[in-house]
Structure 1
């Protein structure tokens, strides 16, 4: 009798979970037609992010990113620097975790770790371009580097 009661309880729980979406639905990223065109771009356009005050540089070689940045991304000044820094910190942390696990996440997407420190002021332009690359990357490759759906 106890076994039957346990089975009925488990079955009831499974039905309730199915009815109330306990399985969790993953929100998909809705990509516009203009974005699809930039994502399908084959010619390489390189974006170099560098600062004279610090000794670092980021080079993004992803066909379509420069076009996407100029035509689809929110303009410079739309976000505050602190907003960009906070989002970049989360994105970099998740990126680096995936880069350290190439068998799980695919070595082709996360080839290298990003050295980004919250204690360094990289300036607005660097944070803006890095943030927008993360948004571009997530939308193009249907990835999630944070708890929210990347929007433009």
Structure 2
């Protein structure tokens, strides 16, 4: 009887609709004093936050331009792999990252480390010349 329940649960999990993996969205703030928009990175992988807190350097370790440059390359590689169907079952959705938008240092830092997580923990190769994390 237990085996039947396990099979049913596996079937339900396999039939679940695909969800976003990562999303960058504006955060609603009081804009009466300023005319700026803040962004927040939402990662749907439950293992990422713990890994991020234990493996990332402080956001000031590199410049925002450094993170933006690598993020643009990672996003291009991610979307290429997503569209090529090679990792389509692992990459649930394309990532919409606009290099003309200033997402800020914190969002770019976290996105950079999400790509590190994808490459080193999930073992999905995106860029062969990506920065190497110590310990991996």
Bigger Rg over Cα: 1
Q: 1:68 corresponds to which residue?
A: 51
Q: SS at the partner of 2:60?
A: coil
Higher relative contact order (CA 8 A, sep 6+): 2
**Which consecutive unaligned segments of at least 5 residues does structure 2 have?**
1-20, 28-36
- The answer on whether the counterparts of 2:40 and 2:107 sit within 8 Å (CA) in structure 1 is no
How far residue 142 of structure 1 moved from its aligned partner, in angstroms, is: 2.0
Q: Does 1:84 align with 2:84?
A: no
Q: Normalized against structure 2, the TM-score is what?
A: 0.66
Q: CA deviation at 1:113?
A: 0.6
Equivalenced residue count is 104
Structure 2 counterpart of 1:130, from 90, 107, 111? 111
Find out whether 1:151 has 2:132 as its counterpart: yes
Over the residues paired in the alignment, what is the CA RMSD in angstroms? 2.4
- Kept in 2: contact 1:99–1:113 (CA 8 A): yes
| 1:141 counterpart (100, 122, 126) | 122
Equivalent position of 1:121 in the other structure: 102
Structure 1: runs of 5+ lacking an equivalent: 1-45
Pick from 59, 72, 84 the counterpart of residue 42 of structure 2.
Answer: 59
Quickly say closer, same or farther: Cα 1:112–1:58, change in 2 above 3 A. farther
- After TM superposition, the structure 1 = structure 2 runs for residues 34-45 of structure 1, keeping only pairs within 5 Å, are none
| TM-score in terms of structure 1 length | 0.60
| SS state at 2:56 partner | coil
**Which residue of 102, 109, 124 maps to 2:90?**
109
